[in-house]
Chains A and B, each alone.
Chain A
Amino acid sequence: MSSSQSASSEDAQEVYEKVITGLGDKTYTDHSCEVVSDAGEGAQKCGQGFGALSAKMGNGAWTVEIIPAEIEPPPRTPGSTSGVGIRIGQDKITNAGDAVKLVIAFNEQVLLSRHRVNAMSDDCIILIDSKWRTHVNPKVVGEWEDAMKEMSTKNYKWILVPLEAETLKVVDNPKLGKNMFALGLLCHIYDRDVQIAKDQVAYTFRKKPPAVTEANHKLLEAGIAWAAENLDFRFLVPARPPTSELLVMNGNEAFGMGALAAGIDVCAMYPITPASSVSHYLADVYDNFGGMVHQAEDEIAAIGVALGSSYTGKTAMTITSGPGLALKGEFIGLALMIEMPLIIIDVQRGGPSTGLPTKVEQSDLLCVLYGQPGDGPKIVMAPSSIEECFHCIITARQIAETLRTCVFILSDANLATGQTPFERPKLDAKWMAGPPKQTSVPEGSRPYEWNLDTGISERFIPGQRGGEHTVTGLNHDESSRVNYEPATNQLGHAMRSRKIAVFAETLNAPIPYGGDEGDLLIVGWGSTRGAIEEAVDRARAKGLKASSLHLTFLSPLQPGIKEACDKFTKVMTVELNYSDASDDPHITPTNRRRGQLATLLRAQLLIDCGSWGKVHGAPLQPAVLLGIIEKYIPKA
C-alpha cells in the first residue's frame, strides 16, 4: 500500500503525497477501465460520458454498465456497486474486452465486489478515495482494512486519491460531484480533448439549470488538474478521425430508433429490466412520429394490445425479458395460430425466474423456440451488435408481414446497456411502408387462402369490405371457420410450418470467421460475437487454427451450418447460458445438459459439438475464451 495523505473531511488541507508508479506515458491499441461507486453517486454518468466523449474523438469504444438490482441499496456494501466499464481503442471495439487495467473506486466495498468477480487484471491500477482509510468511524476503518487484506492476493497498484476532499473544494454535496472529478482524472490519464469533454458534460446536464453545468465543468477541470499534478503515468490511445459519420448509443436506444425507422406504430410493454429503456426512449420521441408506447397493466395485456393493434393493420411490437416472456406464452401461440404479424423483443437477463435482473445471459433461446404449448413455427433472430439492434427491427417487420408470423428478436443485457459507435444508417422510405390497403376483398377470396407450395396467404384487415371473418385460436379452415377435421388440422400445421421452410431458402449460409477450415470451430449467437471473434484473432495470431461461426437466425437455422462444421476437427458452441461441464460430478455423455445452441445443433443437424457455457452474469471475455481455445486445440 502506498502511503498518502489521510483525507477525511476534517483535515482536507493536508498535502497530498505523490505516488511514484514509474509508468510514464505509454501508447496502447486499446485499454479498458472501470468507474465504480455506490448507487446514486453517479459513476454511470462518469463512465458513459467518458465512453461517449472518446467515441466523439474518433476512438473505438464499448461501455458496459454495472447495475445493482436495487435503486439505492445500503451504501458501502458490495451489493451497492454501480458503475461502468469502458474499453477504448484506436480501432473499432466490438466487445467489453478482458479484465480492466484501471479502476476509479469511490469506496473499497464497491471495489471489493469487482475484485470478487475478477473484473480487474492482476496489475490493475486502482485510484480509490482515501477518506475511508482514516475515517473517524473505526468500523469503517476496520472494513477498509479487511477489504485491503482480501484484495492483497493481487498485485494491484494503489493510488489513494482525496476524491471527496477535492470535490468539496468545488461543491457542497460530494455525492453530486465526485463523478465529474473522476471524469477529469480519466480525461488526464487517457489524454482526452478537454473541449470535447466539456461539451459532453454540458450534454449530460442539458436538462438542468446552467449553474449545474458550470459547477461540473469546474469539477472536471479540477480532476484534470489534480491528475496532472499528482500522477506520473498516462495511457495513450490515439484516436483516428472517423472516416464515416457515426452514431453512439446503447442497444435499447438502437431498438427504439430501429422501431422508428421501421415505421412501428405501437410499442406495448410492461416495465421489466433490462427491456424497459427501449420504451423510455420511444416514449420520449414517439409523438414526433405519430406512434405510441402503451404501458399495459401486465405482460399479458402488453402482448394482447400489440396483437390487437396488429390485427387492425397497425405495426406493433412488444418488448420484454425472461419472466415476461413466460407470461406471454399463450398469446404467442394465438398470434402464431392466427398468423398475425408481430415483433417480440426479448432482452435476455439471468434466469430462471427473477434470476439476475440486470445481468447478461442467453438462456431464453429454447423457451422462445419451444416455449408455447403446441407446435409453434416462428422466426427467431439475434442481433450480435448494437448496430444490428437498429437494423434487425426493419428486417423483422418485413419478415413478419410477408410471412404473416411472429418474429422474435433476442437481445441481452450486454447489448441493452452497452454503448458503442456505429455507422449512421442511411434511411429508406420503404422501411416505413404505410398502412395496408383498405380496398374491398375480391368476392370468393378467403382469409387463409394458403398457397399450398409456400404456406403464405394474404390477411384481411378490419375496414376491408367483403373480408369479414373471425380469427380464432381454434383450429380453422381457409375461411377461418372453426374446424375439427383431421385433414384440416394437419393442413393448418403444415402451412404454418412450410412458410418458415420457404423463408429458410432465402437465407445465406453464415461465413466462418478466421478461415473456413481448421482444428476448432466455435459457434455462437447474439451479443458474444465481438468477444468470440477477438479470441479467434488472438488464437490465429498464436498459430492456432480456430475459427468461429455466428448465427443471426436461430429459427429457421441458416443453410450450410453442418457443411461449415464438417471442415473442422472439433466444433464447440460458446454461449452465456448453463452447460454441465463434461467432467462435472455425475455427468456422463448421456445425462449431460448442454448449452441451448449446442442442444439445438445436436438435435437438428446431428452436429456432435462440444458445449461451453457460463452463467457469471458478465460479458464474455476474449482472454477467457482464448484459454478455452488453447485447451481444445491439441499442442502441435
Chain B
Amino acid sequence: MDTSLLDISGAADERTFTANDYKGPTARWCPGCGDFSILATTRRLLELEQLAPEKTLFVSGIGCSSRFPHYLKTYGFHGIHGRALPLALGAKLRRPDLHVFVVMGDGDCTSIGAGHWIHAIRYNPNMTVLLLDNNIYGLTKKQTSPTTPVNYKTNTQPKGSYLNPLHPISVTLGVANASFVAQTADWIPAHLLATMRAAQQHKGLSFIRILQRCPKWTIDIFDAKVKTPDEMMILNHANGITDPKVQKMYKNQMEHDPSDLDAARALTGMTSHIPLGLFYKNEDAAIYNELRMNKSFTTEEKMANLEKEFDRYAV
C-alpha cells in the first residue's frame, strides 16, 4: 500500500468534531429545497463518524445539487457536468486515506454522465455516491431528465415527457460488481442518516438514490409522497438499514434480504409503493482502487529500476 501521503506525524488525532466544524458558507438553494436536509444530515454523519475535515473530500458535477461541496468545510471538488465520478476515482486511486463522497443530480448521473455511472459501479472504488434525484433539470430551468415521470410537462417537452423514466436503482443493479445499492428520501432524515451511515461504513462503492424535493419545478411530484407516508415501503432486514424511529413512523414495512439480487431487482418494479432501504449489498465485490494498489518505492529504488530499463534498451 502506498503510504507516502498518509499522515505519519504519529500524534494521535485528539480533536473531536461537531457538526458545526463541517459548516461552510450559507447554502444558496431555493427555500424548501430537499438539498438542505441532505446537507444537514451529511454534517451529522461526518460528526457521528468523526471524519477529519482535511481527509474528507466531496466531489460533484454540475447542477443545483452539485453546489453541495461549497457548503461544507471539507475539501471539495466542484467539477463539470456528469464527470464527478472520474474525478472522484482519480482522487481515491492513490489516496486510500481520503473519505470520498460524490454528489450528483439526476441529469448529472443518469444522463450526461451515464457512462461514468455504469463504469464507476463496476470499478466499485471505496466511496459513497449520492444521487440527489429531483426528477428534473433544476438549474437550467425545468427540462426533462431521464427520471422525469412520463407525461410530465417540462420546458423541452411541453406536451409532457414522452418516455417512461429509467429507474436509477434498476440500472445500478444491472451492472456487474454492484456492491451497495439503497434508496431513501430527503424528507425522512432518520432514514437518510441511517442509510448514509451504512453506506459510509460499507467497503466499496455505495450508491444511494435520494428522492429529493424540488420546490420550484417538481413540487407536485414530491408533495404527494411527502404527505402520503403510506406510499412508502420500508425495507427491513438484520443486514439492512433499520432505524427504530422510521419503523415506528411508517406503516408499510417488509423484510428484504439485501444479499438477494433477484429480489432486489424485482423490487425496482414495485408500483404500489416506493421501497426505501437497502436493496442490495455484496461485501465480496472487487474494489478497483484496492486491486490497483501496488508496492511503493524510494527514489533510489526507482532510479535503479529505471537504469535497468535503460539497460534493456541500450545499444
Q: Which residues of A are interface residues toward B (Cβ below 8 A)?
A: 55-56, 58, 242, 245-249, 253, 257, 260-261, 263, 265-266, 268, 285-290, 292, 294, 296-298, 300-302, 304-314, 316, 330-331, 334, 421, 424-425, 427, 429, 432, 434-435, 438, 462-474, 481-482
Contact = CB atoms under 8 A, between A and B. Distances in A.
B2 A290 contact: yes
Most buried by B among A245, A289, A468: A468
Contacts of B313: 247-249, 253, 257
A297 B115 contact: yes
A434 B4 contact: yes
B70 A482 contact: yes
B4 A247 contact: no
Contacts of A265: 94
A512 to B, nearest CB: 31
B73 interface: yes
Given A468-B53, A470-B76, A438 B94 contact: no
B5 A313 contact: yes
A266 B78 contact: no
Contacts of B93: 266, 292, 294, 305, 308-309, 314
7 contacts: A266-B94, A288-B305, A304-B89, A463-B55, A470-B78, A473-B62, A481-B25
Given A301-B119, A330-B80, A438-B7, 15 more contacts: A247-B310, A247-B314, A260-B306, A285-B305, A287-B295, A301-B83, A304-B87, A309-B90, A311-B91, A312-B5, A314-B94, A424-B314, A462-B95, A463-B54, A470-B24
A294 B292 contact: yes
A292 B92 CA distance: 13
B294 interface: yes
Contacts of A298: 115
A474 B295 CA distance: 38
A462 B80 contact: no
B302 interface: yes
Contacts of B98: 312, 462-463
Contact of B306 (A257, A305, A308, A481): A257
Interface in B60-105: 62, 69-70, 72-81, 83, 85-95, 97-98
A247 B302 contact: no
Given A55-B315, A290-B2, A463-B5, A331 B310 contact: no
Chain A contact surface mostly: mixed
B32 to A, nearest CB: 22
A466 B54 CA distance: 7
Contacts of A473: 62, 78-80
Given A314-B95, A435-B5, A290 B303 contact: no
B86 A308 contact: yes
A249 B91 CA distance: 33
B52 to A, nearest CB: 8
A567 to B, nearest CB: 39
A301 B86 contact: yes
A292 B294 contact: yes
B307 interface: yes
Contacts of B292: 292, 294
B296 interface: yes
B140 interface: no
Interface string B121-160: 0000000000000000000000000000000000000000
B89 to A, nearest CB: 5
A300 B115 CA distance: 10
Contacts of B307: 427
Q: Which residue of A260, A313, A462 has the most chain B CB atoms within 10 A of its CB atom?
A: A462
Nearest to A53: B315
B299 interface: yes
B315 A248 contact: yes
B178 interface: no
B284 interface: no
Contacts of A301: 83, 85-86, 89, 115-116, 119
A421 B116 CA distance: 42
A304 B314 CA distance: 36
**Most B CB within 10 A of own CB, among A298, A470, A473:** A470
Interface in B287-315: 292, 294-297, 299-300, 302-303, 305-307, 309-310, 313-315
Contacts of A305: 86-87, 89-90, 93
A69 B312 CA distance: 29
B211 interface: no
A472 B59 CA distance: 10
B205 interface: no
A289 B296 CA distance: 7
A266 B87 CA distance: 13
Contacts of A268: 90
A306 B59 CA distance: 14
Interface of B: 2, 4-5, 7, 24-25, 52-55, 57-59, 62, 69-70, 72-81, 83, 85-95, 97-98, 115-116, 118-119, 292, 294-297, 299-300, 302-303, 305-307, 309-310, 313-315
Looking at B75, B297, B315, the one whose CB has the most chain A CB atoms below 10 A away is: B315
Contact of B54 (A425, A434, A464): A464
A432 to B, nearest CB: 5
Given A301-B119, A434-B4, A465-B54, A421 B315 contact: yes
A423 to B, nearest CB: 10
A290 B302 CA distance: 9
Nearest to B98: A462
B314 A245 contact: yes
Contact of B70 (A288, A435, A470): A470
Contacts of A307: 87, 90
B116 A297 contact: yes
A304 B315 contact: no
A462 to B, nearest CB: 4
B41 to A, nearest CB: 19
Contact of B97 (A309, A429, A463): A463
B175 to A, nearest CB: 12
Given A266-B90, A438-B5, A470-B77, A290 B295 contact: yes
A316 to B, nearest CB: 7
A338 to B, nearest CB: 8
B315 A56 contact: yes
B113 to A, nearest CB: 9
Contacts of A286: 294
A58 B314 CA distance: 12
Given A309-B91, A470-B78, A471-B76, A432 B302 contact: yes
Nearest to B25: A481
A279 to B, nearest CB: 14
A473 B70 CA distance: 12
A336 to B, nearest CB: 12
A174 B58 CA distance: 60
Nearest to B62: A473
Contacts of A308: 59, 77, 86-93
Nearest to A257: B309
A541 B24 CA distance: 71
A510 B315 CA distance: 31
A300 B76 contact: no
Contacts of B87: 304-305, 307-308, 311
A285 B98 CA distance: 27
Contacts of B7: 438, 463
A308 to B, nearest CB: 2
Contact of A311 (B77, B97, B116, B305): B77
A470 B75 contact: yes
A557 to B, nearest CB: 30
Instruction: State the 5 A-B residue pairs at the shortest beta-carbon distance, nearest first.
Output: A308-B90, A470-B76, A304-B86, A305-B90, A308-B87
A583 B211 CA distance: 66
